């Protein structure tokens, strides 16, 4: 079964080059966040399995370190997992994060983006995957395999390359 066939089987229709599905959520501070509200900015939407786990803590810390440079490039970083807002708040405090963490407790965002992991999504935790959405709301990159140690740098370099050659 190809990735596309698997996506159709699971009800996913997200494709690079097409409009990214809108998402709506509330971050751990109660702030509403949606893709529509971020129009005009690059959006790094990164999904991770679980707050306060080693790999997720490393990935979040790397994004936090890279955040000033990503902001300079016009990008916002949004982390998403199926953990609660209360869990996200503790994670933010522990890792000293300044970017938004969306609580996808109903798993609607993860389902829309096709990242729910484990047993064809039945375990309901987000797989470690990321998406780059351009200022026009078009999905331009999907990272299906992510190394928590190096991913933030990979995202920054991809965005720099796109901006240098005028590709969005």
**Average pLDDT of each block of 10 consecutive residues along the chain (168 residues)?**
42 81 90 94 96 95 97 97 94 95 94 78 80 97 95 96 82
Is 95 inside any structural domain? yes
- Residue 41 within any structural domain of the chain: yes
pLDDT of residue 1: 38
Domain count of the fold of the chain? 1
Q: Is 168 domain-assigned?
A: no
Q: Determine the pLDDT at residue 58.
A: 97
Catalytic residue selected from 43, 56, 125, 139? 56
70 located within any domain: yes
Give the domain CATH number at 62.
3.40.30.10
pLDDT of amino acid 7: 45
Active site residue 95: no
Q: Which domain holds residue 97?
A: 3-163
Q: What is the pTM of this model?
A: 0.88
Q: How high is the pLDDT of residue 167?
A: 66
Going from the C-alpha of 128 to that of each of 76, 81, 89, 164, the distances in angstroms are: 18, 9, 20, 28
Across the chain, the runs of DSSP E, i.e. the strands, are 24-26, 32-34, 42-47, 75-81, 100-103, 116-117, 125-126, 129-133, 139-143
Q: What is the pLDDT of residue 88?
A: 95
């Amino acid at each position: 079964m190809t990735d596309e066939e698997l996506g159709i089987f699971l009800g996913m229709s997200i494709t690079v080059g097409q409009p990214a599905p809108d998402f709506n959520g509330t971050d751990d501070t109660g702030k509403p966040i949606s893709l529509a509200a971020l129009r005009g900015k690059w959006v790094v939407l990164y999904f991770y399995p679980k707050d306060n786990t080693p790999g997720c803590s490393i990935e979040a810390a790397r994004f936090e370190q890279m955040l000033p440079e990503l902001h300079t490039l016009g990008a916002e970083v949004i982390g998403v997992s199926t953990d609660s807002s209360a869990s996200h708040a503790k994670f933010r405090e522990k890792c000293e994060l300044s970017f938004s963490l969306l609580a996808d407790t109903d798993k609607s965002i993860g389902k829309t983006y096709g990242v729910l992991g484990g047993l064809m999504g039945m375990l309901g935790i987000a797989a470690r995957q990321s998406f780059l959405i351009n200022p026009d709301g078009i999905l331009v990159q999907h990272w299906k395999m992510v190394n928590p140690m190096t991913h933030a740098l990979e995202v920054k370099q991809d965005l720099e390359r796109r901006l240098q050659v005028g590709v969005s």
